[in-house]
Amino acid sequence: MLVTDLIHSCSNDKVAQAATFCIGGVFAERVLAVAQENGVSAGRFVAVVVRDFALRAGETERAQLAREMAGCDQPILSGLRRVVEKALEGGAQFADDVKGFGMPFVRRDGGLSFDAAAELRRAAAR
């Protein structure tokens, strides 16, 4: 249930941005830096990561996240941080399902592919 709540709430750009600022600190600075490098808001970047998690995470990964979130004072923020940190570390590839991207969005090294960066900019402008 907590994982579903995380996905539903933080798939929204504005909610994702507010949650990122609530977490704050180095985490928020890293998210903002990566988002700015790619010409999007922090909220847009985080929402894309969350939507990708929703699309690609299997039952085992979701269950692991739920266990990590359980018992936290702020479980949604804790779960969001874990999902986004994984993407920031370069261990995830994702696509913006809302705009129908079918290609990898982030390379394994964590950088955006040229095509993906262009698509993300177009999506942000819409």
pLDDT 10s digits, 5-16: 999 999 999 999
Residue 59 domain-assigned?
Answer: yes
Q: b/e map of 96-113 (b: 16 or more CB within 10 Å)? A: beeeebeeebbeeeeebe
- Residue 14 is predicted with a pLDDT of 95
Residue 100 domain-assigned?
Answer: no
Residue 102 domain-assigned?
Answer: no
Residue 103 domain-assigned?
Answer: no
Q: What's the pTM value of the predicted model, to 2 decimals?
A: 0.72
Burial class (CB in 10 A: 0-12, 13-18, 19+), 120: buried
Residue 78's domain spans which residues? Answer: 1-95+110-124
pLDDT reading at 100 higher than 50 = no
Residue 83 domain-assigned?
Answer: yes
Residue 101 domain-assigned?
Answer: no
* Mean pLDDT, residues 105-122 taken together: 52
Split into its structural domains, the chain has a count of 1
Residue 104 domain-assigned?
Answer: no
* Mean pLDDT, residues 30-59 taken together: 89
